[in-house]
């Protein structure tokens, strides 16, 4: 073997296998505590509505400063429940970005309302407030639908432009549900996600920054009066005694095992967030001149669920990285308005910024257990890939 190959091998072995998201390293750290928690559920046997649910809701309130939290079955349930509670229905227009996970649109359509896709800002990849205003005006002028709600998305963890969007909603007599499925742990001007809009939905899907070992989500609110209706809707619309249905609901509950896991993960969340911030800062410093990493609104701090950047020659760059052992992913190659299920709602003329970003974006490994050697290896290879790809 020649010297160059030896050097490459030595470097590779100090770097080891790079995971895109490393749930195994996290589990090794807290395995015993999670086992204790799961055993407690096995012992009390209240698999649904066990004491872990209220304990988690209290812990979420303590962590975020929200007025109340309602644990639910998924991030999707956390979006649907507040829409149903406000009576969102056929004839209502709900404004969402097209550059998001499909759940944002599914939540709207499952209520019977119509999604209206809004353009994104080219720097933060979150809802463009000026385009939102234009599209609300268009819907009003057309007169077919009633502008009812806005769902901004904290894409990849960065808070959307809530100051602008909340004031548009207030002026238009609409309400805002923040889709913070990726946003937990983010802040805007020092205010935690959970308090940036009147209502916030988040997801604890295993791959999110705070993830369960199955499906789970939560709704955070500034108004404790919301809780009664939400708790009812997540339990088939039943009354407080769960005797009869007083409204339409569904099975939107979180189970006790997921709450048990989340309690232990929440306990280490802030240490993990600090580690994510270190990785993101290193990436930003290395990539800001050679690529276009996601930017953040003034005063916004991302929860760094994912780290994405735009390059003009994405296929060549991701192929190069893959060959070097750096896993990548694409969120999202296809914006919602181009998917078969939602294309009936595509705006005439498409969405230029959204489509341009979707063609160029990719995500790098982002998790708290990346070693400095791995981060350096990833950065070196992104630099080499972008330069080689020209
Ligand atoms: C993950 C996600 C959801 C849905 O969360 P689930 O827990 O999978 O139902 C909704 N919106 C966005 C932006 C997401 O990333």
Segment 274-284, tens digit of pLDDT: 999 999 999 99
180 Cβ neighbours under 8 A, 6+ residues apart: 154, 159, 186, 193, 194, 200, 201, 202, 220
Q: Percent of the chain at pLDDT above 90?
A: 95
SS3 state of residue 178 = strand
Statement: residue 362 has pLDDT above 50: yes
Confidence of residue 389 (pLDDT cuts 50, 70, 90): low
What residues are paired with 187 via a beta bridge?
Answer: 192, 301
Query: What's the full length of the chain, in residues?
Result: 390
- Cα-to-centroid distance, 4 and ligand 1 (Å): 45
Ligand 1 atom nearest to 208, measured from its CA? 1
Q: Strand ranges (DSSP E) for the chain?
A: 68-72, 92-97, 114-118, 146-150, 175-179, 187-188, 191-192, 199-203, 217-221, 292-293, 300-301, 307-310, 361-364
Q: Whose CA is nearest to atom 6 of ligand 1?
A: 75
Closest atom of ligand 1 to CA, residue 203: 7
Structure tokens at 177: 């549900």
**Would the CB of 101 count as within 6 Å of ligand 1?**
yes
pLDDT (tens digit, 9 = 90+) per residue, 237-254? 999 999 999 999 999 999
Q: How far is CA 60 from CA 37, 56, 184, 267, 269, in A?
A: 17, 6, 10, 11, 11
Backbone angles phi, psi at 200, to 5 degrees: -130, 130
Residue 103 Cβ contacting ligand 1 at under 6 Å: yes
Q: With pLDDT > 70 as the criterion, what percentage of the chain qualifies?
A: 96
The reported pLDDT for the residue numbered 185 is 98
Pocket of ligand 1 contains residue 99 by CB under 6 Å: no
Tell me how far the alpha carbon of residue 72 lies from the centroid of ligand 1, in angstroms: 13
**180 in Cβ contact with 193 (< 8 Å):** yes
For the chain, domains (ranges, CATH) are: 3-23+268-389 (3.90.1150.10), 29-267 (3.40.640.10)
pLDDT digits (tens, 9 = 90+) for 37-57: 999 999 999 999 999 999 999
pLDDT band at 14 (very low <50, low <70, confident <90, very high): confident
181 in contact with ligand 1, CB cutoff 6 A:
yes
What per-residue confidence (pLDDT) applies to 2? 46
Asked whether 100 lines ligand 1 (CB < 6 A), one says yes
Q: What are phi and psi of 372, to 5 degrees?
A: -55, -35
The pLDDT value given to residue 11: 56
- Contacts of residue 157, Cβ cutoff 8 Å, sequence gap at least 6: 182, 183, 184, 185, 186, 209, 302, 303, 304, 305, 306
Question: Which of the residue ranges 5-19, 49-63, 237-251, 325-339 would you say has the lowest mean pLDDT?
Answer: 5-19
Question: pLDDT (tens digit, 9 = 90+) per residue, 76-121?
Answer: 999 999 999 999 999 999 999 999 999 999 999 999 999 999 999 9
The more confidently predicted of residues 8 and 92 is 92
Q: What is the pLDDT of residue 388?
A: 79
Report the pLDDT value the prediction gives residue 225, as an integer from 0 to 100.
95
Atom of ligand 1 nearest to the CA of 215: 7
pLDDT of 165-189, one tens digit each? 999 999 999 999 999 999 999 999 9
Q: Are 113 and 86 in contact (CB under 8 A)?
A: no
| 76 CB near ligand 1 (under 6 Å) | yes
Give the pLDDT score at 148. 98
Atom 10 of ligand 1: nearest residue by CA position? 103
Q: Are strands 307-310 and 292-293 parallel, antiparallel or unpaired?
A: antiparallel
Among 9-18, 191-200, 294-303, which stretch is predicted with the lowest mean pLDDT? 9-18
User: What is the atom index within ligand 1 of the atom nearest the CA of 216?
Assistant: 7
Mutation choice for ligand 1 from 101, 216, 306, CB with most ligand atoms inside 8 A = 101
Closest CA to 237 of 68, 81, 74: 81
Residue 387: pLDDT band (50, 70, 90) is confident
Q: Which of 12-16, 71-75, 211-215, 248-252 has the lowest mean pLDDT?
A: 12-16
Helix (H) or strand (E) holding 39: helix 23-44
| Beta carbon of 258 within 6 Å of any ligand 1 atom | no
Strands 217-221 and 68-72, sheet pairing: antiparallel
Closest CA to 171 of 140, 143, 192, 201: 140
The CA distance from 285 to 325, in Å, is: 22
Bridge pairing between strands 114-118 and 68-72 = unpaired
304 — alpha (psi -120 to 50), left (phi > 0) or beta?
Answer: left
The pLDDT of residue 1 is 40
Q: How far apart are CA 315 and CA 323, in angstroms?
A: 12
pLDDT at 345: 98
Q: What is the average pLDDT score of the chain?
A: 95
pLDDT at site 13 = 65
Q: Which of 373, 21, 86 is nearest to 223 (CA)?
A: 86
Q: Is the CB of 104 under 6 A from ligand 1?
A: yes
Compute the distance from residue 156 Cα to the ligand 1 centre, in Å.
Answer: 11
Q: How far is CA 127 from the centre of its chain?
A: 14
């Amino acid at each position: 073997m020649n010297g160059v190959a030896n050097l490459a091998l030595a470097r590779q072995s100090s770097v080891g296998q790079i995971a895109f998201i490393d749930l195994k390293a996290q589990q090794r750290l807290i395995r015993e505590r999670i086992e204790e928690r799961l055993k407690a559920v096995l012992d009390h046997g209240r698999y649904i509505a066990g004491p872990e649910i209220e304990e988690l809701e209290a812990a979420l309130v303590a962590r975020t400063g929200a007025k109340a939290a309602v644990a639910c079955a998924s991030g999707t349930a956390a979006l649907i429940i507040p829409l149903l509670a406000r009576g969102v229905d056929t004839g209502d227009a709900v404004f969402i970005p097209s550059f998001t996970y499909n759940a944002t649109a599914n939540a709207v359509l499952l209520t019977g309302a119509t999604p209206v896709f809004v353009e994104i800002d080219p720097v933060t990849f979150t809802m463009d407030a000026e385009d939102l205003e234009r599209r609300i005006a268009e819907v009003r002028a057309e007169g077919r639908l009633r502008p009812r709600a806005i769902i901004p998305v904290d894409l990849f963890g960065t808070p959307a432009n809530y100051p602008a969007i909340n004031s548009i909603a207030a002026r238009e007599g609409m309400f805002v549900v923040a889709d913070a499925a990726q946003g937990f742990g983010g802040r805007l001007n020092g205010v935690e996600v959970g308090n940036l809009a009147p209502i916030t939905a988040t997801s604890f899907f295993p791959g999110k920054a705070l993830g369960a070992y199955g499906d789970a989500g939560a709704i955070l609110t500034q108004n404790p009066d919301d809780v009664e209706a939400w708790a009812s809707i997540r339990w088939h619309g039943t009354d407080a005694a769960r005797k009869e249905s007083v409204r339409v609901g569904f099975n939107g509950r979180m189970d006790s095992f997921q709450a048990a896991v989340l309690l232990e993960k929440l306990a280490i969340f802030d240490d993990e967030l600090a580690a994510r911030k270190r990785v993101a800062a290193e990436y930003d410093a290395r990539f800001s001149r050679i690529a276009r990493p996601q930017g953040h609104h003034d005063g916004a701090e991302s929860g760094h669920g994912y780290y994405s950047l735009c390059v003009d020659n994405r296929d060549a760059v991701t192929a190069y990285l893959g060959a070097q052992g750096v896993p990548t992913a694409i969120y999202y190659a296809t914006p919602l308005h181009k998917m078969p299920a939602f294309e009936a709602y595509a705006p005439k003329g498409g969405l230029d910024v959204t489509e341009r970003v979707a063609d160029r974006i990719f995500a790098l490994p982002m998790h708290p257990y990346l070693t400095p050697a791995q981060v350096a290896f990833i950065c070196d290879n992104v630099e080499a890939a972008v330069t080689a790809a020209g």
